[in-house]
Structure 1
Amino acid sequence: MYGTIVKETTSVKLDKVAKEEAKYIFNQLGLTMGEAFNLFLYHVNLNKGLPFEVKLPNKLTQKVIEEARQGKNIDDFSSSELK
């Protein structure tokens, strides 16, 4: 299935901050961005779907998301605080 690997250049639009944070983590793991993306694609193929659970949010989470979209109950925080 994955005998000779033929590489291809592609272009995707990514969230800049998420990309930079992920690149830092990939670097710590000894992976390039391309290697990490290939791992993701291999796992999608292996699992015949996303390699993690994706589900609809519950009612409370839906309410919070809608309030955030409306600018309600928003506190400033950095993405590093989420870790």
Structure 2
Amino acid sequence: MSQAIVSIRMDSELKKNLEAVCTELGLSMTTAFTIFAKKMVREKRIPFDVAIDPFYSDSNLRHLQEGIKELNVGHGISHDLIED
């Protein structure tokens, strides 16, 4: 089977993070994109939901980051463990 080169532009930080995840999974980025392409061709659809998850909204992420800052300076709520 002949090979073709595909060039993709993406944010450098995204690329770095993607490479880290691929490495953790024991894959190269080429293998990851090939898996994606094969699945898309086989199913004739994007193989995952494309939707906006409100959890990742800018306002929610800011809220979570502020909460983490508050916890780190000791302004959080402590919960005791409940034993069975």
TM-score normalized by structure 2?
0.57
Q: Report the counterpart of residue 41 of structure 1 in structure 2.
A: 37
How many residues are treated as equivalent by the alignment? 62
TM-score normalized by structure 1?
0.57
Q: Report the counterpart of residue 16 of structure 1 in structure 2.
A: 12
Q: Report the counterpart of residue 52 of structure 1 in structure 2.
A: 48
Structure with higher Rg: it is: 2
Percent identity between the two aligned chains: 24
User: Could you tell me how far 1:37 is from its partner in structure 2?
Assistant: 0.7
Q: Report the counterpart of residue 21 of structure 2 in structure 1.
A: 25
User: Could you tell me how far 1:52 is from its partner in structure 2?
Assistant: 0.5
Unaligned runs of 5+ in 2: 66-84
CA distance in 2, matches of 1:25, 1:54: 20
User: Could you tell me how far 1:45 is from its partner in structure 2?
Assistant: 0.8
Q: Report the counterpart of residue 81 of structure 1 in structure 2.
A: none
User: Could you tell me how far 1:51 is from its partner in structure 2?
Assistant: 0.5
Unaligned runs of 5+ in 1: 78-83
Alignment RMSD: 2.7
CA distance in 1, matches of 2:46, 2:10: 18
Deviates further, 6-15 or 16-25: 6-15
2:29 partner amino acid: M
